[in-house]
Structure 1
Amino acid sequence: MVVAHAFSLPQGPQRIVCLTEETTEWLYLLEQESRIVGISGYTVRPRRARDEKPRVSAFTSAKIDKILALAPDCVLGFSDMQADIAAALICAGVPVTVFNQRSVAQIFDVLFQVAAMVGQGAQGLALIANMQQQLAALAEAAAALPRRPKIYFEEWDVPHISAIQWVSELIGMAGGDDIFPELAAQSLGRQRIIADGSEIVRRNPDIIIGSWCGKKFRPESVAARAGWGDVTAVKTGQIFEIKSADILQPGPAALTDGVAALHRIVMAWSQVHG
């Protein structure tokens, strides 16, 4: 006699710790925030997550004991820089998924994977399609510009670190040209260091955008750098900040608010200099 066993359908992880902001923001957008039991201390999107969820990690460090006390059935991380955290949790028996997205296409791939993990594949695809439509509209508007500005995007000041790949790609979609496209493909910040600041001056950007992760961008200090007085962006006052939370997180923020900020800067420049 064969006895039939009843199995419930899988519901996906119920107790998720997010070691970076982008997965937290995405789970909130998917209306699955009840699954989150711990977040990164750097989380600012959505703002209410800081009030609702315990903070258990920085970026390259984490409170392992605190995470284990939350009894997570899934920990989500980003980049090889969190390998040590992931290893410690794996050794403690915790399921860990670490993504390593660097391009816009890879960000979309990760968003879909996370949505599928929590049983929200259809909703995730709908949100992704909406973001892709917005990006396409920006790119179409950018294609009509008579002239594209040269843009230097600075991720850090000392040493100078240029734009990571998804930021470089979003600059292009917004209507500008990254002046260090050859560095954008390098995944690590130390690989995107511009050792000689005079090379930035030589490439003479029309626009400078700063996004210093973890500290306030200061346009006046950029303008005052030795030898930068003749840079077009400095002479014309085209030095701007985009908050790191809006552009340097490889998730929804960069694909919405981050690229929108880039596009506004480019369009305003085009009205005067195009």
Structure 2
Amino acid sequence: MRSFPPQRIVCLTEETVETLYLLGEEDRIVGVSGYAVRPARVRREKPRVSAFTSADIPKILALKPDLVFAFSDLQADIAAELIRAGVHVHAFNHRDVAGILAMIRCVGALVGAGERAERLAASYEARLDEVREATATIARPRVYFEEWEGPLISGIGWVSELVAIAGGDDVFADLSGCAAAKDRIVTQEQVLASMPDVILASWCGKKVVPEKIRARDGWGAIPAVRDGRIFEIKSPLILQPGPAALTDGLDAIRRALALRP
């Protein structure tokens, strides 16, 4: 990093973009992921330089960033290429709610906004505690979260935690600690055997088609299918490990769990 705090930041995933905007540090951002949609104005304010597992390296280098935020081992090759080009890269690799809160605090510290980041993270912690307390005594539906339809992939760590905070029990909570999607693959038979009361689906940016879920062999016997409790949660709200998941994502889960047939 040539200076502190960094003046020209590229964000290769959505969660660091939203965090910088929430901290009032958006003027430092010079390039973003093509998936960045929060806040809405980011799409007209910032040039798009990457997808998730691919990036326009020449375009990024032309922006002369003094810091690039990346996420997960899936962006390791991008990070390595940028590092070889002399760019300072900070790669996050969190998969749970605690990691999201730590990311917010870390981003704040890296841009000289540590106090604001601490207040923001603390506000989320307080809200999570409030929701957890409010749902502590209600009946807990069994919840299947579907991250992808073929193969079927169950929910990742922070998603499973938010389901629990919202008042549900993730039927595949034992798999949620697996960072890699391939390790969270489940079969139609396993879902059928788990008999979830609610199905939440977010197909990584692809529109969820409830009819396809209902048509799966034998799934008519599943309470969630029988009772019409299949709900889509938009990917930007729940599949990025950042502020969106802790706010609008959590609220979407709560609404789905509260709806009755």
TM-score range, shorter chain: over 0.9
2:118 paired with 1:121: no
Partner residue, 2:142: 150
- State the shift of 1:264 in Å: 1.7
Q: Distance in 2 between matches of 1:213 and 1:166?
A: 15
Q: What is the identity, as a one-letter code, of the residue corresponding to 1:191?
A: D
2:175 paired with 1:218: no
TM-score by length of 2: 0.97
- State the shift of 1:220 in Å: 1.4
Alignment of 1:103-252 (within 5 A): 103-145=96-138, 147-194=139-186, 196-252=187-243
Q: Deviations over 1:11-47 (max 9, x none)?
A: 4111000000000000000010000000000111111
Alignment of 1:18-167 (within 5 A): 18-145=11-138, 147-167=139-159
Q: Deviations over 1:106-155 (max 9, x none)?
A: 1101110001111111111111111111111110111020x200000000
Q: Distance in 2 between matches of 1:21 and 1:97?
A: 14
Q: Distance in 1 between matches of 2:126 and 2:211?
A: 36
- State the shift of 1:268 in Å: 2.8
Q: What is the identity, as a one-letter code, of the residue corresponding to 1:174?
A: A
Secondary structure of 1:46 counterpart: coil
CA contact (8 A) 1:12 1:117 kept: yes
CA contact (8 A) 1:43 1:50 kept: yes
Q: Deviations over 1:31-70 (max 9, x none)?
A: 1000000000011111111101100000000000000000
- State the shift of 1:156 in Å: 0.2
Q: What is the identity, as a one-letter code, of the residue corresponding to 2:6?
A: P
Aligned residues: 259
TM-score by length of 1: 0.93
Secondary structure of 1:240 counterpart: strand
Q: Distance in 1 between matches of 2:124 and 2:116?
A: 13
Q: What is the identity, as a one-letter code, of the residue corresponding to 1:79?
A: S
Q: Deviations over 1:237-263 (max 9, x none)?
A: 000011010001000000111011111
Secondary structure of 2:64 counterpart: coil
Q: What is the identity, as a one-letter code, of the residue corresponding to 2:11?
A: C
Secondary structure of 2:30 counterpart: strand
Q: Distance in 2 between matches of 1:106 and 1:73?
A: 24
Q: Distance in 2 between matches of 1:110 and 1:133?
A: 17
CA contact (8 A) 2:9 2:30 kept: yes
- State the shift of 1:181 in Å: 1.1
Partner residue, 1:259: 250
Secondary structure of 1:144 counterpart: coil
Q: Deviations over 1:143-191 (max 9, x none)?
A: 020x200000000000000000000011000000000011101001111
The structure 1 segments of at least 4 consecutive aligned residues displaced by more than 4 Å after TM superposition are none
CA contact (8 A) 2:49 2:56 kept: yes
Q: CA RMSD in A?
A: 1.0
Q: Distance in 2 between matches of 1:127 and 1:214?
A: 27
Structure 2 portions without partners, runs of 5+: none
CA contact (8 A) 2:32 2:47 kept: yes
CA contact (8 A) 2:205 2:234 kept: no
Q: Distance in 2 between matches of 1:137 and 1:217?
A: 30
Structure 1 portions without partners, runs of 5+: 1-9
Q: What is the identity, as a one-letter code, of the residue corresponding to 1:112?
A: R
